[in-house]
C-alpha cells in the first residue's frame, strides 16, 4: 500500500507539472479527500489512443514526460521507437499500437507515460491523457474474450462504466525480446 501512495504523489506531481489534467482533476482531489470508500476501489491513469480509452493502474505508472530527445536504437523491434533518459536511466519508448501488432501509430509526438513492472521500465506514447480516476474494483471484468481488438492479449481486464476502458498489463507489454519483429 505504501508504494501506491508514493506513486500517486508522483503522478499527481507529474500531472500538475504537465498541466494537462482536464476535467477529472477535481474528481481526483475529491476522491483523495474521501479516502478509501466502503467499496474497494482502484486508481487508474487513463488516456486515449485513436479514439479508444486505455489505462494503467496508478501503481504501475511512474511519470508522464514530454517526448523529446528520443534516440533510435538499431536492430530492435519496430515498435521500440527508441530510448529516453529518465533520470539517468535508459528507458525504451514503445508505440502501443505497434506493440499490439496493429502497425505503428505514425505520430511520434505527444507525451510519454512511463510505467514500471518489477525492475523494468518502459515509456508509452499517449495522445490525450485524461487523468487519474478511481474506479470500483467490481467494475473490472478480467474476461476480455469478448473484445475483438488486437490489444486483447495485453490487457488485465476491461473497466465497464460510462465508457469502456482497456486496463493494460504493463508486465506483458514489456515482455519481449530484442529480436522480435
Partner 1 sequence: MNNSDIKGERFKEFLAEAEDILNSMGKGLLKLGKGVKAGIIDPAVLNSIFRSAHTLKGMSGVFEFRDMGSLSHSLEDTLDLLRMGRITLTDDTLDSVMAAHELLVRIVSARGLGDFSEEIEGIKQGLARGHVKKSKPREQINKELLSILTEYEEHRFRECLRDGRNIYIVTVKFPITSFDKGYVSVTEILKTESELIATLPSTKSSHEVLYFDILIGTVRGKGFIDDLVRPLAEAEISVLAEPSAKHASPQASKSEPALEIISGHGHGRHLDASRETLRRVSNTVRVNISKLDNIMNIISELGILKTGISGISSRLKVEREFSSYSIELSRSEKYLERKLSELRDSVLDVRMVPIGQLFGRFETLINKLSREAGKEIRMITHGDETELDKLIVEELADPLMHIIRNVLDHAIEAPSAREAMGKQRAGTITLSAYQKGNHVVLEVKDDGAGIDAELVREKAVEKGLITREYAKSLSRQETLDLLFLPGFSTRDFVSETSGRGVGMDVVKENITKLSGIIDIETVKGRGTRFLLTIPITLAIIQALIVEDLGRRYAVPLNSVIEIVELPPGEMDSGSEYITVNDRSVPAVRLSSFFGKDRPFGAEASSYGIVAGLAEHRLCVMVDGLVEELEVVIKPLPRMLKPAGIAGATDMGEKGTILVLDITGILEHVLKERKAPARA
> Of 1, 19, 75, 142, which lies in the binding site for partner 1, with binding defined by CB under 8 A?
75
* 3-state SS, one letter per residue, for 8-71: HHHHHHHHHHHCCCCCHHHHHHHHHHHCCCCCCEEEEEEEEECCEEEEEEHHHEEEEEECCCCE
Q: Which of residues 26-55 bind partner 1 (CB under 8 A)?
A: none
Smallest distance, Å, CB 52 to partner 1? 25
Is 129 a binder of partner 1 (CB under 8 A)?
no
**Segment contacting partner 1 by CB under 8 A, of 26-34, 73-81, 99-107, 146-154:** 73-81
**Residue of 153, 124, 118, 9 lying closest to 56 (CA atoms):** 124
Is 176 a binder of partner 1 (CB under 8 A)?
yes
Residue 119 or 162: which CB sits closer to partner 1? 119
How does strand 164-168 pair with strand 52-57? parallel
**Segment contacting partner 1 by CB under 8 A, of 8-16, 25-33, 82-90, 160-168:** 82-90
Is 165 a binder of partner 1 (CB under 8 A)?
no
Distances (CA, A) of 58 to 4, 49, 103: 7, 18, 27
> Of 18, 76, 139, 144, which lies in the binding site for partner 1, with binding defined by CB under 8 A?
76
Amino acid at each position: 500500500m505504501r508504494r501506491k501512495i508514493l506513486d500517486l504523489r508522483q503522478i499527481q506531481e507529474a500531472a500538475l507539472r504537465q498541466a494537462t489534467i482536464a476535467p477529472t482533476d477535481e474528481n481526483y482531489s475529491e476522491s483523495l479527500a474521501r479516502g478509501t470508500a466502503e467499496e474497494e476501489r482502484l486508481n487508474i491513469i487513463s488516456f486515449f489512443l485513436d479514439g479508444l480509452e486505455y489505462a494503467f493502474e496508478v501503481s504501475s505508472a511512474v511519470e508522464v514526460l514530454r517526448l523529446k530527445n528520443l534516440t533510435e536504437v538499431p536492430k530492435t523491434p519496430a515498435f521500440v521507437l527508441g530510448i529516453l533518459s529518465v533520470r539517468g536511466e535508459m528507458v525504451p519508448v514503445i508505440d502501443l499500437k505497434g506493440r499490439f501488432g496493429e502497425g505503428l501509430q505514425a505520430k511520434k509526438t505527444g507525451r510519454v507515460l512511463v510505467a514500471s513492472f518489477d525492475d523494468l521500465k518502459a515509456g508509452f506514447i499517449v495522445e490525450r491523457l485524461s487523468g487519474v480516476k478511481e474506479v470500483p474494483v467490481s467494475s473490472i471484468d478480467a474476461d476480455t474474450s469478448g473484445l475483438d481488438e488486437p490489444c486483447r492479449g495485453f490487457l488485465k481486464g476491461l473497466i465497464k462504466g460510462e465508457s469502456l476502458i482497456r486496463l493494460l498489463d504493463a508486465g506483458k507489454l514489456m515482455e519481449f525480446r530484442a529480436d522480435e519483429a
